């Protein structure tokens, strides 16, 4: 069969096209839509009343409060790190830059369980600083500070990953022009740099926040699972599930699923609004180990 | 030739020799931003991670070796790496199909499908875990149909693979998609005009172009799957020697107050992820070089 006389010679045969569509959409439906649907179906299995009850129960409310608190600490701190790291890495030349980029990426390639473990080894009662903390009657592990630290670790690279390739591509001519025209360092940052990177910044914050609120493995190791005190929403889901309170567990899980959907919508909006600014991004920030500086050579 | 100058401004080559083009003093804030970055990085990442080395070092070599090669630990490596490999292979094929469909075909709801691909990044792993378990349990929407056929997914190693497919799904799609979008249709045109069949064009023209991205996506999915915990523990059943993953074993050791044992296994996992990281960086370097070659 010769394709060359057909005007659509750059297309696959119709049956291949149809097969690919069915296979890929079927795969996505099976692995993405079904799990999402089952969360809401199980959550509402016994009606809205029990659904609402599971959410306003004191332990659930405490978990929601803790999750919000952890995100409120972790996101701004990692935002500050992201901006500082991206500034140092993209605007200056120094020895060991590539190593620094790799180290910033490191938390992405560490298992969440290991991320939790290292804080237990550091701050636990048998850890390095355990005796010291005990002397001052401070508790880090199996308490809220441990949960915050573990979350800081796993969400560490998100904003930096987003900003480094972006600022690398933008160069520093605009900042230099601002300084030449007499702007102070802070004026230059606020009026030139910030508007240039705002979409990338927002994108990183959205992803960082989603991970901060949803982290399970690392937090699970350091939290100690004290109900009403050190349980975040994902840990509350686990406890309810292990107690065979399936409906309540899925009800709380559905809140996280909604959060994930909101994250996806916000992400799409940012991608759409900031399209031009973000176009230079080669990879979304979740990718561990992807070295943004190397990627940019291709541009 | 190094791509040191672009229309956007000055693009430094990734490993420019320091000393050349030193630019201290041009822009302010180097000390502050660098100082904060190094301080915060050390505090949150480097010092805590170093505890793994020091804790493992409290064991002599023999004890360390026994701790990381006990039969139960070896079984967990086999499951973790085997399932991660299998899941990454499924994602390699399915991810390519999905990326192809999203780039080359039009269908209603394409934008929504495209956004949904990132769901595994956004959905907390614990939620994914209980959802998949509910789906594949014997009374679940999928399990109901699979179990009469003799396929048990929940609480078996197969369940681990299913969870890891979910977790790794976006990686291949999102690495291949941009490369496929940039692929020049003229090359396919040329191949077709020279008499190549569509399959030949795909295998000899397109596949070499997207191969580095495809392998990068595969490696990323694999690396993520090896460390995964939340989505797996619910569906795995966690039977020692059969369906117990390495991260869970670390937690078990920790709960038995075997801190050195937990640290040793964690150290092995950490070193393996370093190797993977290196491999991924090599792949990306390869991909970047290809891109560069094309532009010149």
A172 and A264 both lie in a single domain? yes
Task: Return the pLDDT at B238.
Answer: 87
List the Cα angle B91/B118/B292 in 5-degree steps.
70
> Which residues 147-166 of B are in CB contact (within 8 Å) with A?
165-166
Mean pLDDT of B4-32: 52
Question: What per-residue confidence (pLDDT) applies to A64?
Answer: 95
| Residues A14-48: tens digit of each pLDDT | 888 899 999 999 999 999 999 999 999 999 999 99
Q: Specify the pTM.
A: 0.87
Closest Cβ opposite residue A291 in set B23, B224, B284? B284
Residue B293: which pLDDT band, with cuts at 50, 70 and 90?
A: low
Chain B positions touching A95 (Cβ under 8 A) are 18
Interface test with A, best of B123, B173, B190, B293 (most A CBs within 10 A): B123
> Quick one: chain B helix, strand, coil %, rounded to 5?
75, 0, 25
Nearest CA in chain A to B225: A111
Please check whether residues A204 and A153 belong to one and the same domain: yes
**Residue pLDDT, tens place only, A262-279:** 999 999 999 888 876 776
- The reply to whether ipTM tops 0.85 is yes
Q: Which domain holds residue A36?
A: 1-43
Q: Which residue has the higher pLDDT, A235 or A172?
A: A235
Q: For residues A138 and A188, state if they share a domain.
A: yes
Question: Above 50 in pLDDT, residue A6?
Answer: no
Are A201 and A278 within one domain?
Answer: yes
Report the gap between the CA of A28 and the closest CA in chain B (Å): 8
Residues A16 and A124 placed together within one structural domain of the fold: no
Listed in sequence order, the residues at least 6 apart from B116 whose beta carbon sits closer than 8 Å to its beta carbon are: A28, A32, A33, A264
Banded pLDDT at A149 (limits 50, 70, 90): very high
pLDDT digits (tens, 9 = 90+) for A67-107: 999 999 999 999 999 999 999 999 999 999 988 998 998 89
Chain A from 150 to 169: CB within 8 A of any B CB? 152-153, 156, 168-169
**Can you give the pLDDT at residue B247?**
95
What local confidence, expressed as pLDDT, does residue A9 receive?
A: 60
Q: B26, A9: Cβ pair inside 8 Å?
A: no
Contact A42 B134 (CB under 8 A): yes
Q: Which of B23, B55, B220 sits opposite A93 (nearest CB)?
A: B23
Question: Of the given ranges (A179-188, B74-83, B183-192), which has the lowest mean pLDDT?
Answer: B183-192
Task: Answer yes or no: do A106 and A249 share one domain.
Answer: yes
Q: What is the helix (H) or strand (E) element at residue A189, kind and residue range?
A: none
**Fold of the domain built from segment(s) B76-128+165-231+255-295:** MetI-like fold (1.10.3720)
**CA–CA distance from B218 to each of A57, A188, B47, B204 (Å)?**
43, 42, 31, 20
In angstroms, the separation between the Cα of residue B103 and the nearest Cα of chain A is: 12
Say if the Cβ atoms of B121 and A284 lie within 8 Å: yes
Mean per-residue pLDDT, A111-126: 92
Enter the DSSP assignment of B87: H
Can you tell me which residue has the tokens 């030449």? A180
Number of domains chain A contains: 2
Identify how many contiguous H helices and E strands chain A contains and give both numbers.
17, 0
Please, which pLDDT band fits residue B292 given cuts at 50, 70 and 90? low
Same domain, A149 and A291: yes
What dihedral angle (degrees, nearest 10) is formed by the CA atoms of A163, A168, A172, A174? -70
Measured between alpha carbons, how far is B96 from B90 in angstroms, rounded to an integer?
Answer: 10
| Burial grade of B183 (CB within 10 A; 0-12, 13-18, 19 or more) | middle
**Average per-residue pLDDT in chain A?**
87
Indicate which CATH number applies to the domain containing A81: 1.10.3720.10
For the cut 90, the answer to whether the pLDDT of residue B191 exceeds it is no
For residues B243-263, average pLDDT: 92
What b/e string do you get for A52-78 counting C-beta neighbours within 10 Å, with b at 16 or more? eebbebebbebbbebbeebbebbbebb
B21: its two tokens: 């083009």
Asked if the C-beta of B227 comes within 8 angstroms of chain A's C-beta atoms, the answer is yes
């Amino acid at each position: 069969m010769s394709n060359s006389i057909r005007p659509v010679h750059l297309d696959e045969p119709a049956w291949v096209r149809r097969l690919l569509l069915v296979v890929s959409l079927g795969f996505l439906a099976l692995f993405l839509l079904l799990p999402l649907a089952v969360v809401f179906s199980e959550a509402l299995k016994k009606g809205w009343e029990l659904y609402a009850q599971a959410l306003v129960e004191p332990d659930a409310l405490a978990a929601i409060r803790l999750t919000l608190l952890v995100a409120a600490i972790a996101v701004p701190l990692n935002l500050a790190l992201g901006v500082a790291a991206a500034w140092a890495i993209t605007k200056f030349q120094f020895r060991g830059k590539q190593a620094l980029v790799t180290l910033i990426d490191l938390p992405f390639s560490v298992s969440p369980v290991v991320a939790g473990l290292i804080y237990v080894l550091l701050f636990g009662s048998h850890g390095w600083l355990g005796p010291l903390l005990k002397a001052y009657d401070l508790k880090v592990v199996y308490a809220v500070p441990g949960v915050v630290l573990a979350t800081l670790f796993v969400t560490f690279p998100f904003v930096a990953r987003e900003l480094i390739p972006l600022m690398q591509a933008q160069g520093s001519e605009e900042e230099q022009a601002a300084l030449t025209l007499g702007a102070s360092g802070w004026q230059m940052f606020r009026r030139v740099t910030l508007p240039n990177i705002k979409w990338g910044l927002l994108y990183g914050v959205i992803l960082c926040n989603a991970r901060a609120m949803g982290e399970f493995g690392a937090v699970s190791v350091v939290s100690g699972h004290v109900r009403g005190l050190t349980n975040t929403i994902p840990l509350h889901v686990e406890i309810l599930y292990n107690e065979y309170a399936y409906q309540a567990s899925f009800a709380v899980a559905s809140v996280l699923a909604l959060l994930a959907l909101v994250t996806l919508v916000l992400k799409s909006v940012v991608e759409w609004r900031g399209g031009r600014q973000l176009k230079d991004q080669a990879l979304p920030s979740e990718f561990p180990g992807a070295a943004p500086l190397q990627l940019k050579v291709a541009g | 030739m190094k791509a040191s100058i672009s229309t956007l401004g000055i693009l430094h080559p990734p490993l420019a020799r320091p000393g050349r083009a030193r630019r201290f003093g041009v822009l302010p804030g180097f000390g502050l931003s660098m100082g904060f970055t190094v301080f915060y990085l050390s505090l949150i990442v480097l010092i805590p991670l170093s505890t793994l080395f020091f804790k493992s070092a409290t064991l002599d070599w023999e004890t360390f070796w026994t701790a990381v090669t006990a039969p139960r630990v070896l079984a967990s490596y086999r499951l973790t790496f085997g399932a991660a490999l299998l899941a990454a292979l499924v994602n390699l094929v399915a991810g390519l199909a999905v990326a192809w469909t999203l780039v080359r075909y039009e269908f209603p709801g394409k934008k929504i499908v495209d956004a949904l691909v990132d769901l595994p990044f956004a959905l907390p792993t614990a939620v994914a875990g209980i959802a998949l378990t509910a789906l594949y349990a014997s009374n679940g929407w999928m399990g109901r149909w699979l179990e009469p056929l003799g396929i048990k997914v929940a609480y078996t190693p197969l369940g681990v693979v299913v969870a890891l497919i979910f977790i790794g799904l976006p990686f291949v799609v999102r690495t291949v998609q941009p490369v496929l979008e940039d692929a020049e249709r003229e090359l396919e045109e040329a191949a077709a005009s020279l008499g190549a069949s569509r399959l030949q064009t795909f295998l000899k023209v397109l596949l070499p172009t997207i191969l580095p991205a495809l392998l990068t996506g595969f490696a990323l999915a694999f690396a993520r799957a090896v460390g995964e915990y939340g989505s797996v523990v619910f569906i795995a059943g966690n039977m020692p020697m059969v369906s117990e993953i390495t991260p869970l074993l670390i937690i078990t050791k920790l709960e038995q107050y075997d801190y050195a044992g937990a640290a040793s296994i964690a150290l092995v996992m950490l070193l393996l992820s370093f190797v993977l990281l290196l491999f991924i960086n090599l792949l990306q370097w390869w991909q970047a070089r290809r891109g560069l070659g094309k532009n010149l």
